[in-house]
Amino acid sequence: MLDEIISVKQDEINDLADKKPDVSGELSDFISQLVATEGKLKTVKEKEKFIAKNAGHYDDNPKYALPEPKPLMYAKTYHDKFALPLVRRLKNAIRSILLHFFEKVRKLENSLDSANDQVRYLTENLKTVGSENVRLREVERDYRRLRRHLGGDIADEMLREVKSQEREAASIKKQNIKRNYTR
C-alpha cells in the first residue's frame, strides 16, 4: 500500500517537473512577441512625429500651393481648373494615408491584445504549476524520509515490484479491452 502511494507520488513529481519548463518557455516566447509588437508601435509613433515635424516644409513651399489666377480669369474657372482637382487629390491622399494608418493601428492592437491574453493565460498556468510544485516537493520530502527509514535498497526493490505489478495490471486491462472490441 505504502509502495503504491510512493510510486504514484514519484510519477506525479516527474510529470510536474516535465510540464513546468514547457509553460515557462511559452511564456518567454509570448513576452518576446509582446516586446516586438511594442517596438513596432514605437516605430510608428516615431514616424508620426517625423511627419508632423516635416509637414511645415510642404505648407510653405510654393510648389505645393495653388497658382495665382491668370488675368481676366473667372473665379468659377479657377475653381474648376485648379482648386477642385487639387482638393480632390489631397482628399484622396489623406484618405489613403488614414486608412493605411488605422489598418496598421488595428493590427497592432489586435496582436497586442492577443499577446496580453496569452501572457495572462500562461501566468495563470504558471501559478497553478507553482502551487502543484510546492505540494509535490512536500511529497518528495516525505518520500525521502521513508527512503531513509526503510533504506535505499529496500525502497528501490519495493518500487520495482510495484511498478512491475502496475505494468502487469495495465497489460491485462489492455487485453480485456481488446477482447471486448473483438466480440
Q: What is the pTM of this model?
A: 0.41
Mean pLDDT for all residues in the chain: 80
Question: What integer pLDDT is reported at residue 168 of this predicted model?
Answer: 92
3-state secondary structure of 72: coil
DSSP alpha helices (H): ranges in 61-83? 75-78
Identify whether the C-beta of residue 147 lies closer than 8 Å to the C-beta of residue 48: no
What is the fold, at CATH topology level, of the domain defined by 2-150? Helix Hairpins (1.10.287)
Q: Which helix (H) or strand (E) holds 87?
A: helix 84-150
The domain limits of the chain are 2-150
Q: Which of 19, 22, 15, 8 is nearest to 139 (CA)?
A: 8
82-103 residue pLDDT tens? 788 888 888 888 888 888 888 9
Count of CB atoms within 10 A of residue 37's CB? Answer: 20
Cell of 49: 512625429
45-60 residue pLDDT tens? 887 777 776 666 666 6
Residues in the chain: 183
Burial string for 85-123 (b: 16+ CB within 10 Å, else e) reads: eeeeeeeeeeeeeeeeeeeeeeeeeebbeebeebbeebe
Helix (H) and strand (E) counts in the chain = 4, 0
